[in-house]
Amino acid sequence: MGLESPAATAIGLLGGSFDPVHIGHLQLARDALKQLPLEHVRLIPAAQPWQKGPITAAEHRAKMVQLAIGADPQLVLDMHEIARGGITYTIDTLRELRVAEPARPLVLIMGSDQFARLDSWRDWQKIIETAHIAVAQRAGCSPSLPPELRAVVEARQGQIASVLSRAGGTIVEFTMTPTDVSATEVRRLLPQPRSTERSQRLSAMVPGPVLDYIDSHQLYRD
């Protein structure tokens, strides 16, 4: 998937369940924007992630992502996966995006926890051929890579600047301000009785407008 002439910018893609979106997601997207030649990052909530159980309704998760993005022009809510519905596979999303952007470099952004499991994703080798992958170290998470994935990393590892010379196929690393937050921890805290400590911890993990939305829609109560 080569390009006749190098593109000026790439498009960043950050998929997830965003159940709920938290500052780890925003930090990941913003650090990627600072270090990679990205025009913007699309935050793509999954309809039904294939590796997770029941999750909060898609309309709530999407609305929370929109509230977290606020007026940042470089972050964009992408509804492709929710609109497609059903179980979400990243390869289907990439194929859809490729129709609209046949030669544009696409950069799939992910934390190291998710990257370490990439070889369990549907058509994972095809994913790496279709888009570049940019991986950031996730705080408290240094998983070792399965051998087959490690071999692919060795063959495809590249410099950040090289993502503009091809539409996909390179694996790059970038650094992220460590942000020790997970949606699991946010969901664990939300049903607990109100206290100053709970509010302080939640405010440090979730953007204010998202917390207000969670409160007013009574999400994550049990």
Q: Is 133 in the site for ligand ATP (CB under 6 A)?
A: no
State in angstroms the smallest separation of the CB of 136 from ligand ATP: 6
Nearest to 18 by CA among 72, 79, 74, 62: 62
Q: Between residues 8 and 204, which has the closer beta carbon with respect to ligand ATP?
A: 204
Q: Between residues 67 and 139, which has the closer beta carbon with respect to ligand ATP?
A: 139
Q: Between residues 19 and 81, which has the closer beta carbon with respect to ligand ATP?
A: 19
Stretch that binds ligand ATP, among 87-95, 108-116, 144-152, 213-221 (CB under 6 A): 108-116
| DSSP-assigned letters across all residues of 1-27 | -B-SS--S-EEEEEEE--TT--HHHHH
State in angstroms the smallest separation of the CB of 180 from ligand ATP: 6
H helical segments located in 6-164: 23-35, 58-69, 80-84, 90-100, 112-115, 124-130, 147-156
Q: What character string, x for contact with ligand ATP (CB under 6 A) and - otherwise, covers 59-98?
A: ----------------------------------------
140: left (phi over 0), alpha (psi -120 to 50) or beta: left
d(CA 16, CA 108): 11
Q: Is 132 in the site for ligand ATP (CB under 6 A)?
A: no
Q: Is 111 in the site for ligand ATP (CB under 6 A)?
A: yes
Nearest to 32 by CA among 176, 209, 157, 154: 176
Q: What character string, x for contact with ligand ATP (CB under 6 A) and - otherwise, covers 190-219?
A: ------------------------------
Nearest to 19 by CA among 50, 74, 64: 64
Q: Between residues 111 and 169, which has the closer beta carbon with respect to ligand ATP?
A: 111
Structure tokens at 178: 């460590």
Contact footprint for ligand ATP (CB under 6 A): 16-19, 24-25, 28, 110-111, 113-114, 136, 138-139, 176, 179, 181-184
